Protein backbone atom coordinates (compact mmCIF):
# COMPACT_ATOMS: atom_id res chain seq x y z
CA UNK A 1 0.00 0.00 0.00
CA UNK A 2 1.45 3.38 -1.02
CA UNK A 3 1.73 6.31 1.34
CA UNK A 4 -1.12 8.27 -0.26
CA UNK A 5 -3.33 5.18 0.12
CA UNK A 6 -2.67 5.17 3.84
CA UNK A 7 -2.92 8.88 4.65
CA UNK A 8 -6.39 9.84 3.43
CA UNK A 9 -8.80 9.84 6.34
CA UNK A 10 -11.06 12.02 8.46
CA UNK A 11 -8.90 11.83 11.61
CA UNK A 12 -5.71 13.21 10.07
CA UNK A 13 -4.71 16.61 11.34
CA UNK A 14 -1.49 17.90 9.72
CA UNK A 15 -1.82 19.32 6.21
CA UNK A 16 1.14 18.08 4.17
CA UNK A 17 2.05 19.53 0.79
CA UNK A 18 4.27 17.35 -1.41
CA UNK A 19 6.41 19.28 -3.91
CA UNK A 20 8.58 17.88 -6.69
CA UNK A 21 11.81 19.77 -6.05
CA UNK A 22 12.92 19.16 -9.63
CA UNK A 23 10.28 21.46 -11.11
CA UNK A 24 8.61 23.08 -8.09
CA UNK A 25 5.20 21.59 -8.88
CA UNK A 26 2.88 20.27 -6.17
CA UNK A 27 2.32 16.56 -6.64
CA UNK A 28 -0.14 16.10 -3.82
CA UNK A 29 -1.71 17.54 -0.70
CA UNK A 30 -2.98 15.45 2.17
CA UNK A 31 -3.59 15.37 5.89
CA UNK A 32 -1.58 13.10 8.17
CA UNK A 33 -1.43 12.33 11.86
CA UNK A 34 1.78 13.01 13.76
CA UNK A 35 2.51 9.31 14.21
CA UNK A 36 2.66 8.89 10.42
CA UNK A 37 5.55 11.34 10.20
CA UNK A 38 9.09 11.22 11.61
CA UNK A 39 10.07 13.35 14.57
CA UNK A 40 12.54 15.22 12.40
CA UNK A 41 13.54 15.53 8.76
CA UNK A 42 17.02 16.75 9.71
CA UNK A 43 18.35 13.29 8.85
CA UNK A 44 18.14 11.67 5.42
CA UNK A 45 14.54 10.53 4.87
CA UNK A 46 12.90 8.56 2.08
CA UNK A 47 9.14 8.23 1.66
CA UNK A 48 7.27 5.71 -0.47
CA UNK A 49 4.47 7.45 -2.36
CA UNK A 50 2.31 5.81 -5.03
CA UNK A 51 4.81 2.98 -5.59
CA UNK A 52 7.72 5.43 -5.94
CA UNK A 53 10.53 6.25 -3.51
CA UNK A 54 11.08 9.95 -2.88
CA UNK A 55 14.03 11.53 -1.08
CA UNK A 56 13.10 14.45 1.17
CA UNK A 57 15.47 17.29 0.29
CA UNK A 58 13.82 19.96 2.45
CA UNK A 59 11.05 19.99 5.06
CA UNK A 60 9.37 23.21 6.24
CA UNK A 61 9.43 23.01 9.22
CA UNK A 62 11.73 20.03 9.71
CA UNK A 63 10.87 19.11 13.33
CA UNK A 64 7.61 17.53 14.53
CA UNK A 65 7.31 19.88 17.49
CA UNK A 66 6.88 22.70 14.97
CA UNK A 67 4.61 21.15 12.33
CA UNK A 68 2.38 19.64 15.00
CA UNK A 69 1.92 23.16 16.35
CA UNK A 70 1.29 24.83 12.97
CA UNK A 71 -0.64 21.87 11.50
CA UNK A 72 1.21 22.50 8.24
CA UNK A 73 4.18 20.75 6.61
CA UNK A 74 5.80 21.28 3.21
CA UNK A 75 7.98 18.46 1.86
CA UNK A 76 10.23 19.21 -1.11
CA UNK A 77 11.17 15.88 -2.65
CA UNK A 78 13.03 14.30 -5.50
CA UNK A 79 12.53 10.85 -6.99
CA UNK A 80 15.15 8.47 -5.66
CA UNK A 81 17.29 7.34 -8.58
CA UNK A 82 18.01 3.66 -8.88
CA UNK A 83 21.60 2.91 -9.76
CA UNK A 84 22.22 0.43 -12.53
CA UNK A 85 24.71 -2.11 -11.20
CA UNK A 86 26.38 -2.12 -14.61
CA UNK A 87 27.35 1.51 -14.06
CA UNK A 88 29.21 0.85 -10.80
CA UNK A 89 33.00 0.76 -11.04
CA UNK A 90 35.64 0.75 -8.32
CA UNK A 91 38.79 2.84 -8.22
CA UNK A 92 40.84 0.14 -6.49
CA UNK A 93 41.10 -3.60 -7.22
CA UNK A 94 41.22 -4.58 -3.55
CA UNK A 95 40.39 -3.44 -0.03
CA UNK A 96 41.08 -4.81 3.43
CA UNK A 97 38.46 -6.98 5.10
CA UNK A 98 39.32 -5.32 8.41
CA UNK A 99 38.07 -1.78 9.05
CA UNK A 100 39.83 0.32 11.68
CA UNK A 101 38.18 1.35 14.92
CA UNK A 102 37.58 5.10 14.92
CA UNK A 103 36.93 7.59 17.70
CA UNK A 104 35.86 11.22 17.75
CA UNK A 105 38.60 13.75 17.14
CA UNK A 106 39.03 15.73 20.35
CA UNK A 107 42.56 17.13 20.24
CA UNK A 108 45.27 18.50 18.01
CA UNK A 109 48.66 16.78 17.63
CA UNK A 110 51.97 17.58 15.95
CA UNK A 111 50.35 16.83 12.60
CA UNK A 112 47.37 14.99 11.18
CA UNK A 113 47.56 12.41 8.41
CA UNK A 114 44.33 12.20 6.41
CA UNK A 115 43.51 8.99 4.56
CA UNK A 116 40.42 7.64 2.85
CA UNK A 117 38.90 4.51 4.30
CA UNK A 118 39.67 2.60 1.07
CA UNK A 119 43.37 3.43 1.51
CA UNK A 120 43.57 1.78 4.92
CA UNK A 121 46.20 -1.00 4.85
CA UNK A 122 46.80 -0.67 1.11
CA UNK A 123 50.56 -0.28 1.66
CA UNK A 124 51.55 -2.23 4.74
CA UNK A 125 54.24 -4.18 6.54
CA UNK A 126 53.54 -7.80 7.45
CA UNK A 127 55.42 -10.58 9.16
CA UNK A 128 57.65 -12.75 6.97
CA UNK A 129 55.50 -15.80 7.66
CA UNK A 130 52.60 -14.06 5.87
CA UNK A 131 54.12 -14.61 2.43
CA UNK A 132 51.99 -17.69 1.52
CA UNK A 133 48.83 -15.73 2.37
CA UNK A 134 50.10 -12.71 0.44
CA UNK A 135 50.64 -14.82 -2.67
CA UNK A 136 47.11 -16.20 -2.36
CA UNK A 137 45.69 -12.69 -2.19
CA UNK A 138 47.85 -11.61 -5.13
CA UNK A 139 46.26 -14.34 -7.28
CA UNK A 140 42.79 -12.93 -6.66
CA UNK A 141 43.88 -9.31 -7.19
CA UNK A 142 45.67 -10.10 -10.44
CA UNK A 143 42.47 -11.76 -11.65
CA UNK A 144 40.66 -8.45 -11.07
CA UNK A 145 43.32 -6.65 -13.10
CA UNK A 146 43.19 -9.09 -16.01
CA UNK A 147 39.44 -9.74 -16.23
CA UNK A 148 37.60 -6.89 -14.54
CA UNK A 149 39.44 -3.64 -15.29
CA UNK A 150 39.36 -0.92 -17.91
CA UNK A 151 41.55 2.06 -18.66
CA UNK A 152 40.18 5.57 -18.30
CA UNK A 153 41.90 8.76 -19.42
CA UNK A 154 43.80 9.23 -16.18
CA UNK A 155 43.34 6.04 -14.21
CA UNK A 156 42.11 2.44 -14.20
CA UNK A 157 38.60 1.41 -13.11
CA UNK A 158 37.60 -2.00 -11.79
CA UNK A 159 34.29 -3.80 -12.23
CA UNK A 160 34.94 -5.97 -9.19
CA UNK A 161 36.92 -5.38 -6.00
CA UNK A 162 38.66 -8.18 -4.13
CA UNK A 163 38.23 -8.09 -0.35
CA UNK A 164 41.35 -9.44 1.34
CA UNK A 165 40.14 -11.92 3.95
CA UNK A 166 43.07 -14.28 4.55
CA UNK A 167 45.62 -11.84 6.01
CA UNK A 168 43.74 -10.77 9.13
CA UNK A 169 45.49 -8.59 11.69
CA UNK A 170 49.21 -8.07 10.93
CA UNK A 171 50.09 -8.70 14.60
CA UNK A 172 53.43 -6.95 14.25
CA UNK A 173 55.51 -6.55 17.39
CA UNK A 174 57.71 -3.59 16.58
CA UNK A 175 59.02 -1.50 19.45
CA UNK A 176 57.76 2.02 18.76
CA UNK A 177 60.81 3.76 20.19
CA UNK A 178 63.12 1.58 18.12
CA UNK A 179 61.11 2.36 14.98
CA UNK A 180 61.29 6.11 15.63
CA UNK A 181 65.01 5.86 16.31
CA UNK A 182 65.59 3.88 13.13
CA UNK A 183 63.70 6.45 11.05
CA UNK A 184 65.00 9.43 13.05
CA UNK A 185 61.44 10.57 13.87
CA UNK A 186 60.56 12.49 17.01
CA UNK A 187 57.19 14.12 16.31
CA UNK A 188 54.09 11.92 16.49
CA UNK A 189 50.74 12.81 14.95
CA UNK A 190 47.32 11.21 14.59
CA UNK A 191 45.47 9.56 11.71
CA UNK A 192 42.16 11.01 10.51
CA UNK A 193 39.78 8.78 8.54
CA UNK A 194 36.44 10.21 7.39
CA UNK A 195 36.68 12.99 9.96
CA UNK A 196 37.34 10.66 12.90
CA UNK A 197 40.59 9.53 14.50
CA UNK A 198 42.14 6.07 14.24
CA UNK A 199 41.87 4.52 17.70
CA UNK A 200 45.33 3.97 19.24
CA UNK A 201 46.71 5.25 15.97
CA UNK A 202 49.89 7.22 15.26
CA UNK A 203 51.66 8.90 12.37
CA UNK A 204 55.33 9.72 11.91
CA UNK A 205 57.24 11.38 9.06
CA UNK A 206 60.67 11.24 7.52
CA UNK A 207 62.00 13.40 4.69
CA UNK A 208 60.75 10.79 2.26
CA UNK A 209 57.81 8.99 3.81
CA UNK A 210 54.70 9.34 5.95
CA UNK A 211 53.94 6.30 8.08
CA UNK A 212 50.87 5.47 10.15
CA UNK A 213 49.68 2.55 12.20
CA UNK A 214 48.24 1.27 15.46
CA UNK A 215 49.89 0.90 18.85
CA UNK A 216 49.32 -1.63 21.61
CA UNK A 217 51.08 -0.01 24.53
CA UNK A 218 54.63 0.55 23.19
CA UNK A 219 54.37 -1.99 20.37
CA UNK A 220 53.44 -1.22 16.77
CA UNK A 221 50.95 -3.89 15.70
CA UNK A 222 50.05 -2.28 12.35
CA UNK A 223 52.42 -0.23 10.19
CA UNK A 224 51.43 1.33 6.86
CA UNK A 225 52.68 3.97 4.44
CA UNK A 226 50.51 6.91 3.37
CA UNK A 227 52.96 8.96 1.25
CA UNK A 228 56.32 8.15 -0.27
CA UNK A 229 58.91 9.01 -2.91
CA UNK A 230 61.63 7.13 -4.77
CA UNK A 231 63.89 7.07 -1.69
CA UNK A 232 61.29 5.33 0.44
CA UNK A 233 62.54 1.95 -0.78
CA UNK A 234 65.68 2.37 1.31
CA UNK A 235 63.63 2.92 4.45
CA UNK A 236 61.43 -0.08 3.66
CA UNK A 237 64.43 -2.34 3.28
CA UNK A 238 65.85 -1.06 6.57
CA UNK A 239 62.56 -1.72 8.39
CA UNK A 240 62.30 -5.19 6.86
CA UNK A 241 65.83 -6.02 7.92
CA UNK A 242 65.52 -4.70 11.46
CA UNK A 243 62.08 -6.07 12.29
CA UNK A 244 61.99 -9.18 10.05
CA UNK A 245 59.07 -7.94 8.02
CA UNK A 246 57.98 -7.68 4.40
CA UNK A 247 56.23 -4.80 2.66
CA UNK A 248 53.18 -5.13 0.41
CA UNK A 249 51.65 -2.72 -2.07
CA UNK A 250 48.30 -4.43 -2.61
CA UNK A 251 47.12 -2.22 -5.47
CA UNK A 252 49.98 -3.26 -7.76
CA UNK A 253 50.66 -6.67 -6.18
CA UNK A 254 54.20 -5.64 -5.26
CA UNK A 255 56.08 -7.47 -2.52
CA UNK A 256 59.32 -6.08 -1.10
CA UNK A 257 61.41 -8.43 1.00
CA UNK A 258 65.03 -8.70 1.98
CA UNK A 259 66.56 -11.72 0.26
Report the 10 Å Cβ neighbour count for 109: 16
φ/ψ of 95, rounded to 5, equals -140, 165
Answer whether residue 12 shows pLDDT above 70: no
Where along the chain do its domains lie? 13-79, 87-256
Closest CA to 126 of 163, 171, 74, 181: 171
The mean of the pLDDT values for the chain is 88
Task: Select, from the ranges 113-117, 132-136, 185-189, 194-198, the one with the highest average predicted confidence (pLDDT).
Answer: 132-136
Whole-angstrom CA distances from 165 to 5, 31, 133, 162, 234 are: 47, 52, 10, 9, 29
Please provide the DSSP assignment of 89-148 as one string.
-BSSSEEES----EE------S-EEEE-GGGTTSEEEEEGGGHHHHHHHHHHHHHHHHHS
The model's pLDDT over 145-160, given as tens digits with 9 standing for 90+, comes to: 999 999 877 789 998 9
pLDDT digits (tens, 9 = 90+) for 34-66: 888 888 888 788 887 777 888 899 999 988 888
What is the C-alpha separation between 203 and 180, in angstroms, rounded? 11
pLDDT in the model for residue 85 = 62
Query: For the ranges 43-52, 98-107, 184-193, which has the lowest average pLDDT?
Result: 43-52
Amino acid sequence: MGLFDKIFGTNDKIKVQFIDNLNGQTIGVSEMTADQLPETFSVATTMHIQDTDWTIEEAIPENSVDFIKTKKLVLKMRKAEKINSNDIWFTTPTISNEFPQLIEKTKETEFDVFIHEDDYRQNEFLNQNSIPKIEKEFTAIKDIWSKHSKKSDDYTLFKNCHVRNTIGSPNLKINFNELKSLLNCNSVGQVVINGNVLSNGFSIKTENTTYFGILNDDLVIELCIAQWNDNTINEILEINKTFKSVFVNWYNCDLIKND
